[in-house]
Amino acid sequence: MRHRKKFNHLKRNRAHRRAMLSNMASSLIIHKRINTTLAKAKALRTYVEPLITRSKDDSTHSRRVVFAHLQNKESVNELFREVATKVAERPGGYTRILKLGPRKGDSAEMAMVELVDYNENLLAEKEQEEKSKKRTRRSGRRKKSSGEDQKQSTAAKAEQTEKAQADESAVAETAQQEATATEEPQTEEPAKEEPKAEEKAAEAKEEQPAEEGQKEEKKEEKKEEKQDTEAKKQDAEDDKKEEDKSDEDKKE
């Protein structure tokens, strides 16, 4: 039984398998992508990636260790000069395996092995996606403490009271302007004949109740406006109380 034996011998002895993997690794480093079977691709990934991490430290010792595995000067120079600079910030996962489907002759599963940082098409697509992404308001919003919520509620109440006072002052100014307009003397027309004293008294009696009625109407209008403003204030305070209760329930 082959329990806990995951190593794939690839139907080759040790020397043949090492020579094959070193040749595949050197060709991958030089050409940046190769086509092979899926089993060989998986074995090559475990063979190449430790060598790429070794190339980040450009020293004679690391070069000798890599050369002992690859036995190819061109691939070693390519690895330490070009590949290491592109892979410097990546913490592992330097290769990618892409399945290509079965082979025609024996229907073996084929795959393409490539270095991740040399696929320019995928890198360009990722950059475009990052640019096109937009941050939502929830992502930048932070949770606020209860003290900050209370401060905001008090500030909102103060703003509403100031608005109500401004409305009341505007109503009072309009009422004063109307009163002054009514009290202004009317332009006198040239009298042809002076009316008699009795007629003047009768006219004065008729005008007095009319003026009193106008004053009463203005007073009623002012009362109604004050009642409307007070009702608006009460509605606003009730709405704030309900919002505060809902916020406290959510926090609980």
Query: Structural domain boundaries of the chain?
Result: 14-119, 164-177+204-252
Reading across the β-sheet that carries 33-37, which strands appear in turn? 33-37, 109-115, 95-102
pLDDT attached to residue 217: 82
> Tokens 């393409």 correspond to what residue?
112
What pLDDT is attached to residue 194?
57
Percent of the chain with pLDDT over 70: 83
State the CATH architecture for 14-119: Alpha-Beta Complex (3.90)
Is residue 252 scored above 70 in pLDDT?
no
Please report the pLDDT score of residue 176 as a whole number. Answer: 78
**AA identity, residue 100:** L
For residue 134, the model assigns a pLDDT of: 62
Tens digit of each residue's pLDDT (9 = 90 or more) over 26-54: 999 999 999 999 999 999 999 999 999 99
pLDDT of residue 25: 97
Q: Higher confidence at residue 21 or residue 227?
A: 21
- Cα separations in angstroms, 160 against 231, 240, 242: 13, 11, 16
How far apart CA 215 and CA 128 sit, in angstroms, is 73
How confident is the model at residue 235, as a pLDDT? Answer: 84
Q: Give 208: exposed, middle or buried? Use CB within 10 Å, 0-12, 13-18, 19+.
A: exposed
Q: How confident is the model at residue 168, as a pLDDT?
A: 80
Cα distances from 230 to residues 4, 90, 117, 144, 169, in angstroms, run 82, 67, 69, 32, 14
Confidence of residue 142 (pLDDT cuts 50, 70, 90): low
What pLDDT, on a 0 to 100 scale, did the predictor assign at position 209? 66
Closest CA to 71 of 117, 16, 25, 118: 25
Chain-wide mean pLDDT for the chain?
A: 83
pLDDT digits 0-9 by tens, 69-115: 999 999 999 999 999 999 999 999 999 999 999 999 999 999 999 99
Q: Is residue 66 classed exposed, middle or buried when 0-12, 13-18 and 19+ CB atoms within 10 A define those classes?
A: buried
pTM higher than 0.85: no
